[in-house]
């Protein structure tokens, strides 16, 4: 059975690159009916925090990436790492090293002076295990080093193709620090072995870790998982995506008003494509169609405009009932009283406003000009449509007709406009623009009759009177 894992470090928020890695692992497991494991790599005690862990869990839940096993915490698995290291010591695949930091610094500086790459020279490699244990019992400090394997290793990467690794560029690297805490690469291999991970799908920045991990797999006699290193995500300037480009935290996109379905869809397209034309995928579509064969080797570019556009498309196609559920917390935070209007009104108004919104927050903002007692009119809109004497006079005359509209229907509202246009010999645009600005404070928005009907007669009359200073 295929088993994938997502293994973030809880040292900050879950960023876009990490979220895409989680998504690809999740999709691959779901596509093959396998198991998706969540593992929190929190061995960096100084930087790991419970808050960051919770942010990661919340981000994954928002994206709909449920896990089958876990979350497992490396900080709670030290017995496994120590037991595995002990086995390697017994099998002479690792050894205790007593070289002090000062000694290693001297050797490193000497190599630099000679313009050579520093590699540990194996000073302690031949110390018998029993002698080493006696020295430790006597109070000496020692790390545990892995005896590197010689030769070349070729990994058939599922994305990059064959990748060659030459062990001559490595030294006998540390797997346990002198305090007994494990090193990252050692933890990863121990955990992947214990959790029976079959496919390691991760960012290309982890490719440099692969040769050490491959050696450890071989030394421990465990079948290597299939590796798939996915390309980096770049900003619009083709540099590594970072805060300078805008939001990179998954929950920041949630706060900005993205639908999880939309953001998940866009994430999937960062380095993967089903074909050269299909852009919209439901969760089930992604599970059905995802494959590593269609993951690109080339870096993906995060296009904020495209991401926003896609979110707008999702919002426009989402049922108003679901939208109201999504924005209710936002409405409440913005002190908009949902009970002020019947449910039918919310449904009708959402159907109007969702066609123009890019973010859920746009929907929240739009309700202010339907519900607030007064609105601020944009200065440019006022200058253009509510300052000319003729415009104000036409607005006064339309107000008289509006007050007589009964029943308050689109047909009767259209007739009011037609009557004014005939009497004053004007075109529709000469009156509709002043009316729109008076109602909403803006020059753009929904269709004018949709605006009237959503706003209601009393509020429409009040807005026009306010604009006229009555």
pLDDT digits (tens, 9 = 90+) for 4-18: 999 999 998 999 999
For the cut 90, the answer to whether the pLDDT of residue 169 exceeds it is no
State both tokens at 2.
């295929």
Average pLDDT of 137-156? 93
Q: Of the ranges 72-76, 260-264, 282-286, 333-337, which one carries the lowest mean pLDDT score? A: 333-337
- Contact by Cβ (8 Å): 149, 211: no
- Contact by Cβ (8 Å): 353, 363: yes
Q: Where are the alpha helices (DSSP H) in 334-388?
A: 343-353, 360-366, 368-371, 379-385
How high is the pLDDT of residue 379? 92
State both tokens at 263.
């953001």
Q: Chain centroid to CA 86: how far?
A: 40
Rounded to whole angstroms, the Cα distance separating 4 from 101 reads: 38
Rounded to whole angstroms, the Cα distance separating 250 from 266 reads: 12
Average pLDDT of 327-354? 93
The residue among 356, 317, 306, 326 whose CA lies nearest residue 255 is: 326
Look up 243 and say whether it is catalytic: yes
For the cut 80, the answer to whether the pLDDT of residue 470 exceeds it is no
Q: Please, what is the average pLDDT of the chain?
A: 94
For the cut 80, the answer to whether the pLDDT of residue 245 exceeds it is no
* Dihedral in degrees, nearest 10, Cα atoms 105, 108, 109, 113: 170
For the cut 90, the answer to whether the pLDDT of residue 93 exceeds it is yes
Residue with tokens 């209007």: 341
Contacts of 77 (CB under 8 A, 6+ apart): 187, 190, 191, 194
- Contact by Cβ (8 Å): 163, 155: yes
Q: Of the ranges 164-173, 197-206, 269-278, 314-323, which one carries the lowest mean pLDDT score? A: 164-173
Contacts of 5 (CB under 8 A, 6+ apart): 25, 36, 37, 38, 39, 192, 195, 197, 200
Between CA 76 and CA 80, with CA 79 as vertex, the angle to 5 degrees is 95
Please tell me the pTM assigned to this model: 0.91
- Kindly state the percentage of the chain with pLDDT values over 70: 100
Rounded to whole angstroms, the Cα distance separating 331 from 320 reads: 15
Of the candidates 243, 297, 306, 390, the residue annotated as catalytic is 243
**413 pLDDT band (50/70/90 cuts)?**
very high
Rounded to whole angstroms, the Cα distance separating 11 from 310 reads: 30
How high is the pLDDT of residue 423? 94
For the cut 90, the answer to whether the pLDDT of residue 154 exceeds it is no
Q: What is the DSSP letter of 240?
A: B
């Amino acid at each position: 059975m295929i088993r994938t894992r997502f293994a973030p470090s809880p040292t900050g928020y879950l960023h876009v690159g990490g979220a895409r890695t989680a998504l690809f692992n999740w999709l691959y497991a779901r596509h093959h009916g396998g198991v998706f494991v969540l593992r929190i790599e929190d061995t960096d005690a100084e930087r790991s925090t419970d808050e960051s862990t919770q942010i990661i869990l919340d981000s994954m839940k928002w994206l709909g990436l449920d896990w089958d096993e876990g979350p497992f915490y490396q900080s709670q698995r030290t017995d496994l790492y120590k037991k595995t290291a002990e086995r390697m010591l017994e099998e002479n695949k690792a050894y205790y090293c007593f070289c002090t930091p000062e000694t290693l610094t001297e050797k490193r500086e000497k190599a630099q002076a000679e313009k050579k790459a520093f590699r540990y020279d194996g000073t302690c490699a031949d110390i018998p295990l029993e002698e080493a244990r006696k020295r430790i019992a006597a109070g000496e400090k020692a790390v545990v080093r892995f005896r590197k394997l010689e030769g070349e290793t070729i990994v058939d990467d599922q994305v990059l193709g064959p990748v060659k690794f030459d062990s001559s560029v490595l030294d006998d690297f540390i797997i346990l620090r002198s305090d007994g805490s494990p090193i990252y690469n050692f933890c990863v291999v121990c955990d992947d072995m214990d959790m029976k991970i079959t496919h390691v799908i991760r960012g290309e920045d982890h490719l440099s870790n692969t040769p050490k991990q491959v050696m450890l797999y071989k030394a421990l006699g465990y079948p290597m998982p299939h590796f798939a290193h996915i390309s980096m995500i770049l900003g619009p300037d083709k540099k590594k995506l970072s805060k300078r480009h805008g939001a990179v935290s998954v929950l920041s996109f949630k706060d900005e008003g993205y639908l999880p379905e939309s953001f998940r869809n866009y994430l999937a397209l960062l380095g993967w494509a089903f074909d050269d034309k299909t852009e919209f995928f439901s969760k089930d579509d992604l599970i059905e169609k995802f494959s590593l064969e269609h993951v690109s080797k080339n870096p993906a570019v995060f296009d904020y405009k495209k991401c926003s556009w896609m979110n707008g498309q999702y919002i426009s196609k989402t049922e108003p009932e679901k939208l109201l559920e999504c924005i209710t917390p936002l409405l409440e935070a913005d002190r908009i009283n949902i009970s002020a209007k019947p449910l039918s009104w919310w449904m009708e108004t959402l159907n109007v406003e969702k066609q123009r919104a890019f973010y859920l927050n746009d929907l929240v903002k739009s309700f202010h000009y339907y519900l607030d007692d007064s609105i601020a009119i944009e200065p440019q809109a006022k200058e253009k449509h509510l300052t000319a004497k003729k415009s104000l006079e036409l607005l006064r005359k339309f107000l008289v007709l509006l007050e007589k509209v009964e029943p308050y229907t689109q047909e009767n509202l259209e007739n009011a406009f037609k009557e004014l246009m005939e009497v004053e010999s004007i075109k529709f645009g000469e009156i509709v623009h002043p009316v729109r600005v008076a109602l909403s404070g803006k020059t753009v928005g929904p269709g004018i009759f949709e605006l009237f009907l959503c706003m209601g007669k009393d509020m429409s009359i009040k807005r026009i009177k306010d604009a006229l200073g009555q």
